[in-house]
Chain A
Amino acid sequence: MARTFACLVALLLAASISSAQPQQPPPQPSPFQTPPRDNAQAQPAGSATLRGHVVAAETGQALRKAQVRIFSPELRENRLATADGDGRYEFKEVKPGRYTVTASKGSYVALQYGQTRAFESGKPLEILANQTLDKVDFALPRGGIVTGRVLDEFGEPLPDTMVSMQRYQNVNGQRRLVPAGRPAMTNDIGEYRLFAIPPGQYYLSATLRPMGGMADTDDRSGYSPTYFPGTSNVAEAQRVTVGIGQTISDMNMALMPSRMARVTGTVVDSQGRPFTGAIMAFPKNEMFMMFGPPAQIKPDGSFVVNGLTQGDWVLQTTGPGAAQGDYASAEVTINGDDVNGLRLVGTPPLTVSGRLVVDPGAAQALRPSTVRIMIGPAQVGMPMIGFTGPTAVNDDLSFDAKARPGKMRLNLAGPLPGWAIRSVRVRGEEVIDSGFDVRAGESIADVEVELTNRLTDVSGIVTTPKGEAVKDYSVVVFPADREKWTPNSRYVKTARPDQDGRYKVTGLPPGEYRVIALDYVDSNEWNDPDFLERVRSKTSAFSINEGETKSVDLRITPASS
């Protein structure tokens, strides 16, 4: 497990809370002349101040020019302040709300405020109007540095190879190797340099995806992703341990050559004419970091895609398409041999139309023009290439969205402060979590999307069995019903305490829940069904109704039990 560097991180926070609570003026009608107002509430002008210092953890030396960012997704605030020569930074006129604060500089490990361990989430800061938050300080540890060279099987340097430190993470319910931190690219002499690496154990991986390549050649040589010291099998790879501020040099690797396949075929649009545009190929189940240029479809509709390693791939069209934004895709499994004669037929986008449904009392608080609907693949993580963007809702609450054939989900595009989708009904059935099938040639009408602004609010404090307050912990909330433990579920949430030791979870759908407070939860494990099952017996239960604000105080669950 990652070495904790809590001993090197000093967090001092003395908040001086002023007495005023933010005023809530009633919603006003908004003629276009005056600046338009937000949904439901007027946005108070920013009046709070936030400041602190950024220093190096080992030496205490000020880190001048460190970059500090405050971010509030609900308010869509994203601001930057640069620390001065003494490492001091300040944000003025901050709007009240809940923020995450992050500090970074060069080769130091970037930290979220409240983060005491690598790969842990930070703690949010609850900022009130006219409040001054002082001493929001950061002590950044030095990151690790890994350097080396990547060569091909002839000993020649390999440029344009992506090198990264990878660790296992829970992505959409699957354990996968994912790059941690920013990857590096090798230069013409095959050299790379990775820096600002948080301490931990990793697999060093190098991947070269060909960018384009010859169409008219019989050559099929390429390289599979390779792990240090030089194997394409992760089970045989050597784990690399990086300590705080440690430099590891000469991590050299030769890439493993492998045979790559070519796929040829034709693409026509929905009217049978050659498709105008290009074809992209991406791995079906992997996180694909490097996209080469798409393969152009020739005027006769034929295409050639090179450089596919073994595995499952998805070919998808991009670009203008023929007449009305047609789109075509196909799945291909490569086992080393070329695939020829693939025929893709385009389908025009289908219409999914319907209306928003809002409780009569809440209807006045909603401005339909700020609501945007997006229909995307139900499987989260699929690239959104070829999908149409968000659709605005009309003033009469109706909407006409475009969708592709496949299993789809309907979501709000972008956060809508104060609102959430309560239900999505297609053909009379509830599909908000399951998604719905869009079939080729069939448009869908009469979709009902229920919005509610009566969001739930669960908050509380955590104490030890002796009744002492615990200021640093992680809370995980999940539904009693195991069926709802799906990837990216609406019902599973995690939260960290603010500067007063209080956690808050908003927007949970009404229902029955379990909740637990733990000393530490890895930021990529908290929604893993295996983890939820392990902790289930130690949870408390609560239930919550629509619009309810509930206080649920907890006892900390010790790590050993």
Chain B
Amino acid sequence: MTSWFVVISLGLAAYAQQTPARDAPPPAGTSVIRGRVIAASGDRPLAKAEVHAIAGAMHVDKAVLTDANGRYEIGELPAGRYTIVASKPNYVRASYGQRRPLGPGTPIDVAAGQIATRIDFSMQRTGAIAGRIVDELGDPAAGVQVSAMRRMFVNGENRLVNGGPPQMTNDVGEYRLWGLMPGQYFVSATLRSAMGDSNDTIAYAPTLYPGTPNPIEAQRIAVAAGQTIGGINLTLLPVTPSRIAGVVVDSRGQPMSGAFVNVLHRSGASPMGGAGGTQVKPDGTFAIGGLAPGEYTLRASMMGNQDEVATADITIGGDVTNLQLVAAKLSTLRGRVVFDKSGAKPPAASALRVFISHPSATPMSSMDGNATPKDDGTFEVKIGAGLSLVRAGVFGTGDWRLARVLTADGADVIDAGLDVPVNGVVEGITVEMTSRHNELTGTVVDANGAKVRDCVVVVFAQDSRRWIANTRFYSVSRPDADNVFHMRLPAGDYLAAAFDDPDTTGPYNAPEILQQLRERALAFTIGETEKKSIEVPLGAPPVY
């Protein structure tokens, strides 16, 4: 369940920054948009493609499916400027008027009563990577989990992250990774057998094509639209496995009988589902065999009960048999959300959400939490101990944003975070919201002074001490249909860099990347309620 929760929090941040999302049905209109969708190879009509007409300013997003002839009609639209997007499983999403695959499209203006015709699409199929996995004896390896991975920066670390759902090899060792958007991928293969105890003398580390456990030595595979790259075969690398054993106790010091211990990768290529696990026995002991050397996080909890969790970070380079995991009950944080008198009407408590995150913990070992305040603004949330960042947002309107997070002593910990003690209670937190905001707008110009629309604008703090995960002093945007980009930022000193990134590798907030962007960036300062306009020169994209 962790994955969609994260999506909510990102979505909330988006809500708070943009113009208000709609909460009433859009006005009916008299404009019509028509067209046809065909498959690029063979000019065949594409039935059941989803076509959206989107007018962000008016909060309109209306969609239909193409018929058996690939034709569609979206009617009753209010007059305005629309972006039209077509999508279908196994085809690359297409935006009308785009100049390259997955690039931004060109919107069209439709007047009242007008029928816009021939808004057509030629869609390209997604790509695929296929091959065969064998073990070190040359036998086909069945049941191997294979993933297409992309290199991304997560919390400042260079990690390989899944670029699509993993597939299992069949009985003859074959796999096919399909539905891939054009881009560059690495292929990772893992045979997981570390469930329960084992005395096996061979285990397999996650192996990257062409046959290495090291992400730096892995070979990139470029996949174009509609292309299948076959013959991506690899041989699993055996390693000497290690066995870990220990005892798990709960917060009362009793054996945590029946809990499940999960072993999760902490770095490198991390296959989905972790490295292994086992159930804790009645006497509180557990043992897991077949683990490849590496850095892991152990996480023990009762099924269905996340109130008590035990975690430990371990490095395995041989057997480890004296582990002691002690579960801690979640700590409690209590506070109140207040709104300053900056003019706008405060929202209903049910539209508020307070989020607590742990920036320094690995994703699986942190116990983040969120809460909806009561009508009087008070809230209580249960979270794991450690350095915690408090954030808050409002659904449905961009008028309010987080201004300060005050402890009971009056210290503002909005960026520093606060230390939540183990099994403890933190009270008296004040979350201050304000409707005062600034407005940064700008354009990106190339060497000839022409405005550029196909680019990414990255704004980050001049002070490199603020280049940390979850920082507020960072924003990314793209120029809109009028070649203008918009942002709202906390007051401060910033640098702005713009570049074209066709592979959309992002995110860009790793210190090594910001260091590269700093050299050609434009420096500026913006106050709390200032309206500022800048012109950013187009630079070269960062090198990964």
Contacts and interface: CB of A to CB of B under 8 A. Distances in A.
Interface stretch (B63-71, B104-112, B437-445, B503-511): B63-71
Nearest to B371: A320
B20 interface: no
A216 B178 contact: no
A218 B64 CA distance: 7
B400 to A, nearest CB: 14
A289 interface: no
B142 interface: yes
B65 A81 contact: no
Interface stretch (B153-161, B300-308, B469-477): B300-308
Given A79-B198, A276-B372, A36 B283 contact: yes
B135 interface: yes
A106 B171 CA distance: 5
Given A78-B197, A81-B200, A106-B171, A187 B89 contact: no
Interface in A149-177: 152, 154, 156, 159-160
Interface stretch (A347-355, A384-392, A531-539): A384-392
Interface in B104-157: 125-126, 128, 135, 137, 139-140, 142-143
A64 B252 contact: no
B247 A79 contact: no
Interface stretch (A11-19, A37-45, A522-530): A37-45
Interface stretch (B94-102, B253-261, B525-533): B253-261
Given A76-B282, A214-B63, A369-B254, A156 B302 contact: no
Given A64-B137, A369-B255, A36 B284 contact: yes
B282 A300 contact: no
A342 interface: no
Interface in A101-119: 105-107
B224 interface: no
B241 to A, nearest CB: 10
B432 interface: no
B283 A37 contact: yes
Contacts of B125: 188
B50 interface: yes
A244 to B, nearest CB: 15
Contacts of A69: 196
A415 to B, nearest CB: 9
Contact of B285 (A35, A106, A217): A35
A85 interface: yes
A154 B278 contact: no
Interface in B345-377: 350-351, 370, 372, 374
Given A106-B142, A372-B258, A390-B302, A216 B282 contact: no
A389 B303 contact: yes
B90 interface: yes
B179 interface: yes
A67 interface: yes
A370 interface: yes
Interface centre among B143, B303, B350 (most CB of A within 10 A): B350
B235 to A, nearest CB: 14
Contact of B255 (A76, A217, A370): A370
A293 interface: yes
B279 interface: yes
A216 B372 contact: no
A154 B68 contact: yes
A38 B202 CA distance: 32
A195 interface: yes
B212 interface: no
B62 interface: yes
**Interface majority SS on A: helix, strand, loop or mixed?**
loop
A159 B167 CA distance: 13
B176 interface: yes
B193 A188 contact: no
B395 interface: yes
B295 interface: no
B64 A217 contact: yes
B43 interface: no
A377 interface: no
A35 B290 contact: no
B479 interface: no
Given A78-B195, A299-B396, A320-B370, A35 B247 contact: yes
Interface in A355-401: 367, 369-370, 372, 384, 387-390, 392
B170 interface: yes
Given A64-B137, A370-B257, A80 B193 contact: yes
A187 B178 contact: yes
A196 B285 contact: no
B302 A188 contact: no
A370 B350 CA distance: 40
Interface in A5-38: 32, 35-38
A92 interface: yes
Q: Which interface class (under 10, 10 to 19, 20 to 34, 35 or more) fits A?
A: 35 or more
Contacts of B252: 369
A422 B372 CA distance: 43
Contacts of B255: 36, 369-370
A217 B87 CA distance: 14
Contacts of A38: 281-283
A66 to B, nearest CB: 11
Contacts of A96: none
Contact of A187 (B8, B176, B278, B279): B176
Given A80-B193, A188-B179, A293-B4, A216 B62 contact: yes
Contacts of A219: 64-65
B409 interface: no
Contacts of A160: 89
B302 A193 contact: no
B63 A195 contact: no
A414 interface: yes
A198 to B, nearest CB: 14
Interface string A188-203: 1100010110000000
Contact of B89 (A78, A79, A106, A159): A159
Contacts of A81: 198-200
A390 B198 contact: no
B61 interface: yes
B519 interface: no
A79 B282 CA distance: 16
Interface in A294-322: 294, 296, 299-300, 318-320, 322
Contacts of A367: 254
Contacts of A35: 247, 283-285
A91 interface: yes
B178 A188 contact: yes
Interface string A108-150: 0000000000000000000000000000000000010100000
Given A187-B176, A276-B372, A414-B258, A384 B135 contact: no
B257 A80 contact: no
Interface in B368-425: 370, 372, 374, 395-396
B178 A159 contact: yes
Interface string A257-294: 00000000000000001101010000000000000011
Contacts of B139: 64-65
B193 A82 contact: yes
15 contacts: A36-B284, A37-B283, A65-B139, A75-B281, A79-B198, A80-B197, A80-B198, A80-B289, A193-B170, A214-B63, A217-B50, A217-B63, A273-B350, A278-B4, A323-B374
Given A196-B171, A278-B4, A299-B395, 17 more contacts: A38-B281, A43-B283, A64-B139, A80-B197, A85-B137, A106-B142, A106-B171, A107-B142, A217-B64, A294-B4, A319-B1, A372-B257, A387-B304, A389-B304, A390-B304, A413-B258, A416-B282
Interface of B: 1, 4, 8, 23, 47-48, 50, 61-65, 68, 89-90, 125-126, 128, 135, 137, 139-140, 142-143, 170-172, 176, 178-179, 193, 195-200, 202, 247, 249-250, 252-255, 257-258, 278-279, 281-285, 289-290, 302-305, 350-351, 370, 372, 374, 395-396
